[in-house]
Chains A and B, each alone.
Chain A
Amino acid sequence: MTLAIGDPVPTFCLPAAEGGESGLGEHTPAVVVFTCNHCPYALAWHDRILDVARDTDVPLFLVNPNDGHKYPRDSFAAMKERVEADGGWPAPYLRDEDQAVARAFGARTTPDVFVVAGDGTLAYRGAPDRDHDDPGEHAAWLRGAIGAALAGRPADPAETEPVGCSVKWR
Chain B
Amino acid sequence: MRVELLFWDGCPSHPRALLELRAAMDALGLDPGTVIVREIDTEDAAGAERFTGSPTIRVDGADVQDVAAAPAALTCRVYHRRDGRVSPVPDPDDLRDALRAAMKEPA
Contact = CB atoms under 8 A, between A and B. Distances in A.
B76 A41 contact: yes
Contact of A40 (B10, B73, B88): B88
Given A44-B87, A165-B10, A39 B76 contact: yes
Contacts, number: 39
Interface string A18-45: 0000000000000000000011110110
Interface stretch (B27-35, B56-64, B78-86, B95-103): B78-86
Given A38-B78, A163-B12, A71 B73 contact: yes
A70 B11 CA distance: 16
Interface string A57-99: 0000000000000110000000000000000000000000000
Count class of interface residues, chain B: 10 to 19
Contacts of B87: 40, 44, 133
B85 A71 contact: no
Q: Is the interface of B mostly helix, strand, loop or mixed?
A: loop
A108 to B, nearest CB: 11
A143 interface: no
B41 to A, nearest CB: 13
Contact of B88 (A41, A135, A166): A41
Nearest to A163: B12
A44 B76 contact: no
A132 interface: yes
Given A71-B73, A71-B75, A165-B75, A40 B85 contact: no
Contacts of A164: 12
Contacts of A166: 10-11
A13 B69 CA distance: 36
B75 to A, nearest CB: 6
B76 A165 contact: yes
Interface string B1-23: 00000000011110000000000
Contacts of A132: 88
Nearest to B43: A70
A40 B12 contact: no
A43 B10 contact: no
Interface of A: 38-41, 43-44, 70-71, 132-133, 135, 163-166, 168
12 contacts: A38-B75, A38-B76, A39-B75, A40-B78, A40-B88, A41-B88, A43-B78, A43-B86, A44-B87, A163-B12, A165-B12, A168-B75
